[in-house]
A = this chain, B = another copy of it.
């Protein structure tokens, strides 16, 4: 049942090594300038050039193969030209494996009233010091080339949710136009460039966006603008609408999603790459992933609990520390709590991805998914 598809560019080779006989899930390898990534892959988020509370060697130990960083943040501080002068983002952040940078679109549009858009680009004021700035597709690409990640993303417009069909259509068309400008501006040969499918929650607009983006031709294809409050069923409906219109032989990246169960469902629909702040952000609030749900470590019932966060977990935190200790650290405001919680949550995500890859390779992903969904529903029903 294994089909092999290979897409190859100057700087990206994607090979599908195994396919699930029941779903659209696939496992493969993504060869990039800084190394090989096994898909489906989860990328921890290093917004400001650092994954919060996780050093590069911790990430390597956890088996992270690729990290995402943010163009908007690094442009404002410390500045992309400074990073380039210091040898590029890999050297700057001490991470030798593949990197992906987003385009800055999502962050800029998150500024709300502090961002104004027209067909040329977006004017905005810095969240750090209120200084005025403007992003265009060309500038976003120039910044990303200076940072030098393995994969850059086109500059796209991210809609607020909900939006009318007409607003969604115009925004989608603008993103397609910006994708064309991004591609025209991109020259760095060691860097792949991904297109981004937009179109809100209008399935036909998503399909139009996918077709137009594919027609432009990119090294891989992302789906953006999801997980913004629409709920899992509608999100999955959009993935199902888009996936058939993306090339089989190129990597597919679902941006900014989500819970572990979301990743299972997106993998089942043929997606290969993921990023989300959820494991690291939840770690800092004491929400620790366990089973297909999570526990809140500050809960009084853990005060005398000698067990690990998650029974059977092989991470350093679970091998070494009790829930009672981690609760103590969290309540005492110890910085170490952030580090130890982050280790567990990232391990949980990366371990889930490894299990999915193994299940796809063994032809058992269908069963893995059914079991995950059943456990997830049981846990959330009784929570």
Contacts and interface: CB of A to CB of B under 8 A. Distances in A.
Contact of A306 (B78, B86, B284, B329): B86
Given A78-B324, A82-B304, 9 more contacts: A50-B336, A52-B335, A53-B335, A77-B328, A82-B303, A82-B324, A86-B325, A94-B320, A335-B338
Given A325-B92, A325-B93, A304 B86 contact: yes
A316 B51 CA distance: 17
B92 A324 contact: yes
Contacts of A335: 52-53, 284, 335, 338-339
Quick one: copies of this chain in the complex? 2
A120 interface: no
A49 B338 contact: no
Interface string A326-346: 011101101110111000000
B52 A340 contact: no
A332 B320 CA distance: 30
Given A92-B325, A303-B82, A334 B55 contact: no
A85 B324 CA distance: 11
Contacts of A21: none
Contacts of A52: 334-336
A287 to B, nearest CB: 16
Nearest to A73: B332
Contacts of A334: 48, 50, 52
